[in-house]
Amino acid sequence: MPPRLTFIANASTPAVRAAAFPLDEGIDDVGRQDAAALASQFTNFSAVLSSPAKRAIETATALNLRPEIDPSLRDLDLGDWSGQSLKSVAASDPHGFESWLSDTNFAPHGGETVDQLFARASVWLEDISARDGRILAVTHPSFIRAAILAAIHAGPTSFWNIDVAPLAVVQLTSNGRRWALRSIAN
């Protein structure tokens, strides 16, 4: 049976609420409560995977899941911008910030480019397509966006055209040859 893949975005964090780029922080109390309220929806998976980030692991825990850590599911590396507010980055480096939002191969923060994230998500989807059953991956909005684009062959230039909220659920299906987007629930 070809895999059926469900992504869940990490729950809200202090950085999300402050409109800031995240550090390796945990989820906030509201995120923990919201995740716990959804826990009954996430049962009967043949595999449960998680990003190694604290916010993804805490989300999985709040969902009553015991995931296997998969380093490929990590968030977009934001380098020097990690922990800073979007407003302060846009003020201190307006050209870099604007270029980052418009050029998928630009990383003024010294971290990972959107193109690199897209390539990582594409390889991960190819690897996971060899597995059978229902797979759940707790990861980050950026990785989920990149995986959606890889699945539908849209390319990384559409990265900023997809919104993925905390605890959003995205489902992809495979027929063994290709992935298809089944649903997005924010």
Q: Which of 74, 183, 68, 76 is nearest to 135 (CA)?
A: 68
Indicate the domain borders of the chain.
Answer: 4-185
Q: Tell me what pLDDT residue 67 has.
A: 98
What's the rounded Cα separation, in Å, for the pair 40 and 11? 16
Question: How many CA atoms lie within 13 Å of 127's alpha carbon, on the beta-carbon side?
Answer: 10
Q: Which DSSP category does 110 fall into? A: S
Residue listed under structure tokens 């407003």? 87
Q: What is the pLDDT at residue 177?
A: 86
Q: What is the reported pLDDT for 2?
A: 79
Q: Which pLDDT tens digit goes with each residue over 22-42?
A: 989 999 999 999 999 999 999
Distance CA 95, CA 33 (A): 39
Whether pTM > 0.85 for this model: the answer is yes
Residue 12 has what pLDDT?
A: 97
Query: Phi and psi dihedrals of 95, rounded to 5?
Result: -65, -45
Question: Rounded to whole angstroms, how far apart are CA atoms 156 and 146?
Answer: 7
For the chain, which ranges sit under pLDDT 70?
none
pLDDT value at residue 176: 82
Q: Which two tokens stand for residue 18?
A: 């402050």
Q: Taking the CB of residue 86, how many other CB atoms lie within 10 A of it?
A: 14
pLDDT value at position 141?
Answer: 98
User: Are the beta carbons of 2 and 174 closer than 8 angstroms?
Assistant: yes
- The CATH fold assigned to 4-185 is Rossmann fold (3.40.50)
- Residues forming beta bridges with residue 185, ordered by sequence position: 169
User: Is the CB of residue 6 less than 8 Å from the CB of residue 134?
Assistant: yes
